[in-house]
Amino acid sequence: MANKNLCILFLLSLIGVATAQNCGRQAGGATCAGNICCSQYGWCGTTDDHCLPSNNCQSNCRGTGNPGSGPGESATNVRATYHIYNPAANGWDLNRVSAYCATWDANKPLAWRQQYGWTAFCGPVGPRGQASCGRCLRVRQKKSHS
């Protein structure tokens, strides 16, 4: 009887693990219910492994502020890049210049590419790639309007 109860407990714990919520880039950008943290591996939880930016937390991380709650936020684990060059000299070919993030928009129409600059701000720092980078900002250049 004790073995049967132990077996039932074990199976219940497996079901709990199997139904744990996935999040982040591993789940198409989904966030965890109840503002719970999303770990670098795409699991929801409340431990330091899930929530600390230094552990590559993906969303609802500790110490990063609440979006929209004030004049600005800060983080210590972000990467920003800026590429300065003459885009017209490269025929607005984003693949040829291979600027970080810009290649993701390389198939946009020429009018769209000419409207936006190629400045990128990405975070939090983690494995490289569009999903882990976050969203790259498209900055309209004030001087050249490009």
Same domain, 106 and 88: yes
**Residue 102 vs residue 113, higher pLDDT:** 113
Full domain range(s) for residue 28 = 20-70
**What band does 1 get if pLDDT is binned at 50, 70 and 90?**
low
Question: 118: domain CATH number?
Answer: 2.40.40.10
Q: First vs last Cα of the chain: how many Å apart?
A: 75
Q: How far is CA 42 from CA 9, 23, 75, in A?
A: 26, 5, 20
Same domain, 61 and 102: no
The pTM (predicted TM-score) of the whole model is: 0.34
Poorest-pLDDT segment among 14-23, 34-43, 107-116, 137-146: 137-146
Quick check: 25 and 131 in contact, CB under 8 A?
yes
- Structural domain contains residue 25: yes
Q: Into how many domains does the chain fold?
A: 2
Same domain, 65 and 29: yes
Q: Among residues 25, 49, 26, 54, which one has the least CA distance to residue 37?
A: 49
Same domain, 63 and 85: no
Rounded-to-integer distance, Cα 94 and Cα 87, Å: 8
pLDDT score for 136: 45
Quick check: 87 and 108 in contact, CB under 8 A?
no
Residue 98 has pLDDT above 80, yes or no: no
Same domain, 28 and 52: yes
pLDDT score for 25: 84
23 is written with which tokens?
């999040």
Rounded-to-integer distance, Cα 100 and Cα 112, Å: 18
- Structural domain contains residue 13: no
